[in-house]
Amino acid sequence: MVIAVDGPAASGKGTIARALARHYGLPHLDTGKLYRATGLMMRLAGQPPEDTAAATQAAEHLDPALLDAPDLMSSENARYASIVSAHPGVRAALLARQQRFAGQPGGAVLDGRDIGTIICPGAAAKLFVTARPEVRAGRRHRELAGNGDSRSLAEVLADIEARDARDSQRAAAPLLRAPDAALLDTSDLGIDAAVGQAIRLVEEALARRGQHSA
Ligand code: C5P
């Protein structure tokens, strides 16, 4: 049973994907970390993220140790991730790794931008999680402030909007709601309510496919 969770930055998709994984007893992959680790490799090597050949090489030889690097989740690294992720070569290099994870016996939960459209188009359940940009910026601002990042709310909102635009407008695997993905807007929901709705939507998708839930 594969559950695909897609959506823009700070929509709540990571929290929801982790909760779904716990609920159904499935392994979880935050695919954004793969793009962030590729971006971090470029930063550490002093290479611009626009360099297609170098970014593709970095993704092909991804250093797994970087997936736990302290700087992985910083806003500067998110910017690198969103630029390197537009290179088709980078996406191709990371595709098999994600599909292998999804193909584990029993299934998996993956969250990202193109899970329901490209990585796992046959997923048993697909969610597209979103929230208003101001709400997402507020969440990310609180998270960054907790990590000692002094960026203002206005700067965080501008970062998020720039990333949304890059992720949605790129030619390779743009951020897109799959036609069969259920929409979940978390703008006015707390975590428990959002997770509750996500479980309900997954149950509905499984019921439509005649699959049994846990
Ligand atoms: O999800 P997260 O914000 O950590 O992702 C960082 C960046 O990685 C995104 O802005 C996006 O450009 C890229 N990404 C992607 N496809 C995915 C996951 C993330 O292009 N499946």
CA distance 127 to 19: 13
Residue 30 has pLDDT above 60, yes or no: yes
pLDDT for position 213: 53
Beta strands in 34-143, from DSSP E residues, in sequence order: 108-112, 125-130
| Half-sphere CA count of 49, side-chain side, radius 13 A | 20
Interval between CA 117 and ligand 1 midpoint (Å): 14
Instruction: Point out the ligand 1 atom lying closest to the alpha carbon of residue 9.
Output: 3
The per-residue pLDDT for range 1-22, each reduced to its tens digit, is 999 999 999 999 999 999 999 9
For 111, list phi and psi in degrees, rounded to 5. -120, 145
Residue 206 has pLDDT above 50, yes or no: yes
User: Average model confidence (pLDDT) for the chain?
Assistant: 95
Calculate mean pLDDT across residues 153-158.
96
Pocket test for ligand 1, best of 42, 113, 169 (most atoms within 8 A of CB): 113
Residue located via tokens 């969440």: 139
Residues composing the chain: 214
| CA-based end-to-end distance of the chain | 10
Interval between CA 190 and ligand 1 midpoint (Å): 23
Amino acid code (one letter) for 31: T
Nearest CA to ligand 1 atom 9: 82
CA distance 119 to 99: 6
Instruction: Point out the ligand 1 atom lying closest to the alpha carbon of residue 110.
Output: 21
Per-residue tokens: 159: 């970062």
CA distance 214 to 196: 15
Task: Answer yes or no: is the C-beta of 81 below 6 A from any ligand 1 atom.
Answer: yes
Name the percent of the chain lying above pLDDT 90: 90
Amino acid code (one letter) for 11: S
Question: Confidence class of residue 74 from pLDDT cuts 50, 70 and 90?
Answer: confident
Q: Could you tell me which residues come within 8 angstroms of residue 106 by beta carbon, excluding any fewer than 6 positions away?
A: 1, 26
Selection from 168, 181, 161 nearest residue 113 by Cα: 168
Identify the three-state secondary structure at position 66.
helix
| Cβ neighbour number for residue 30 with a 10 Å cutoff | 17
pLDDT for position 120: 98
Domains and CATH numbers, the chain: 2-208 (3.40.50.300)
Task: Answer yes or no: is the C-beta of 36 below 6 A from any ligand 1 atom.
Answer: yes
Calculate mean pLDDT across residues 156-163.
94
Selection from 51, 13, 53 nearest residue 31 by Cα: 13
For residues 170 and 35, the answer to whether their CB atoms sit within 8 Å is no
pLDDT for position 214: 47
Residue 147 has pLDDT above 90, yes or no: no
For residues 30 and 208, the answer to whether their CB atoms sit within 8 Å is no
Question: Confidence class of residue 211 from pLDDT cuts 50, 70 and 90?
Answer: low
